Structure 1
C-alpha cells in the first residue's frame, strides 16, 4: 500500500483535542501542499483564516448574535469555538471568471480544506471540520471580514490528539456500490 493510501485510510475526526497546536510557521508548508488540489484555471479561489485566542471568543459572540439565543443556551453556543485552541476558517473566495463556474471554485476551496485536514492529521494533529446552521449568517460573515464574493465553508478545529483517544470507527463501504461504469 502507498503511504498516501495509508494516511487517508487512517484519517478520523477528533471531536475533542488537547491545547497543543501547530504554530503559524508549522502551518505554512501544509497550506502550500494543500494548494496543490485540482483548481480549474489556477484561480486559487480560497483562503484560510487562523482563529486563535480572543478571535475564538469573538466568533462565539457572533454565533450567539446570529442565533438569537439567550441564557444558558447562549453560553453553551458561545463556548463552542473554545473546543480547540486553533480554528482554521475555510473560505471559498470566488473570482469572476467566464470559464470557471462558482461551483467549481467552491469545490477547489473544499478540496483545500480537506487536503489540509489530511495533512494536519498526517503531521500528528487532531482535526475536525465543523460547520452548522450559523456558518453563513451575516454576523459570522462580518466577523471573518469576508467580501460579498466569499462564503465560509466551515472551520477546522485543530489540536493535539488526546492520550485516551480511541481509534476512529467508520463503517466500511462496499466501493462497488459507489463506483459505477458507464
Structure 2
C-alpha cells in the first residue's frame, strides 16, 4: 500500500479481533515508526504491551475509578482489542529540545505506527480517557517519575472486512496564509 492510500483509507477501528501483530512484528513496526521526526533523536516515548489477562488488570484499574453504575462497562474496555499498546511519554527533562517538541515527536511516531499497522491489514484506535491520569494505572504500568501515559493503541484485525473508501481530501485553504516580509530600513 502506498503512503497516499494509507493516509486516505486509514480509520480508527472500533471493532478489533484476533489476530494482532505478535511481539516480533510489533517490534519491527515500532523500529520503522521510530524514524518519524524527532529533533535530537531523544525517543521520548516507550511502549508497554498488554495482551490476554493483563488487559483484565487494566480494566480493573478503570473500574475502580469509575462511578459505581459504570464499573462493569469500564472493566471491559480493554477487552475491545487483542493487543493494547500503552504509550508512555518519557521526556528528557531539562534538554535543549523543549518538552512540547518531544511530545510532538511521540505523536508523530504513534501516527506513523498506526499507518504501518493499517498498511499490514491491522486496525487500531488511539484511546485516552480518565485512565491516563490515574494513579492506579501509573502503578500498574510502573511509570517512572516524569513519565505520563498518553493512552493506548487498541490493535487487532478490523472486524468489518472489505475495501476502505478513500477519504475525500479536505479544503484547508483557510489554514494557510502568506506573508510578504520585507526588511524596512529606517534612517
Relative to the length of structure 2, the TM-score reads 0.87
2:77 to 69, 75, 80: 80
Aligned to 1:135, what secondary structure does the other structure show? helix
Which stretches of structure 1, 4 residues or more, deviate above 6 A after TM superposition? none
Question: Could you list the per-position Cα deviations for residues 23-61 of structure 1 after superposition, in whole angstroms to 9, with x for gaps in the alignment?
Answer: 001111110111011111111111011110111001011
Aligned partner of residue 153 in structure 1, secondary structure: strand
Tell me whether 1:159 sits opposite 2:156 in the alignment.
yes
In the other structure, the counterpart of 2:15 is 16
Deviation at 1:169, TM superposition (A): 8.2
Segments of structure 2 that go 5 or more residues without pairing to the other structure are 180-187
1:88, 1:155 within 8 Å by CA — same for their partners in 2? Answer: yes
Of structures 1 and 2, the larger Rg is shown by 2
1:178 equivalent in structure 2: 175
Q: 2:17 is paired with a residue of what secondary structure? A: coil
Q: CA RMSD in A?
A: 2.0
SS at match of 1:115: helix
Distance 1:34 1:53, change over 3 A: same
Q: Is the 8 A contact 1:45 1:108 kept in 2?
A: yes
Corresponding position: 1:122 with 2:122 = no
Residues 171 and 137 of structure 1, relative CA distance in 2, 3 Å threshold: farther
Measured in 2, the distance between the counterparts of 1:165 and 1:131 equals 28
Q: Is the 8 A contact 1:66 1:140 kept in 2?
A: no
**What's the TM-score once normalised by structure 1's chain length?**
0.89
Match of 1:131 in 2: 128
| 2:61 alignment counterpart | 62
Structure 1: 5+ residue stretches without partners: none
